[in-house]
Amino acid sequence: MLPRSLVLALFIRSLSLLLPHTFFQPDEFYQAFEPAHELVFGFGYLTWEWTDLPRDDGGDSWWSVHVVGGRMRTWCWPGLFVLIYRLLRALGQDNSVLLVGLTVK
């Protein structure tokens, strides 16, 4: 026989799987296009999450560079669009119809 605490924990965990507990933040999705466009084509608007954070400690240690300084968001998601934009640019097909059509749909 299973202990009551384990049965209770499994019941609560199973119940939490049935309840929706996620949410969608559209800014994180759509703000990925602009940094990718700026990186590939050299112009665009970057929000504050994509600019370097100020570093006032004056150090060049790993902690100073990667934790204190750096960007707020990672390049993992925009990196996908960077690949698409660079491919279109290399093929000479970097017009607005293809840029929007391949990244939004």
Name residue 53's beta-bridge partners. Answer: 70
Report the chain's mean pLDDT, rounded to a whole number: 76
- In the predicted structure, residue 105 carries a pLDDT above the cut 60: no
More confident residue, 22 or 73: 73
Q: Which residues of 71-90 are buried (b: 16+ CB within 10 A; e: fewer)?
A: eeeeeeebeebbebbeebee
Q: What is the pLDDT of residue 24?
A: 61
> Any residues with CB less than 8 A from the CB of 52 and at least 6 apart, and which?
69, 70, 71
49 and 73 in contact (C-beta within 8 Å)? yes
Q: What is the pLDDT of residue 70?
A: 63
Amino acid at 10: L
pTM: 0.56
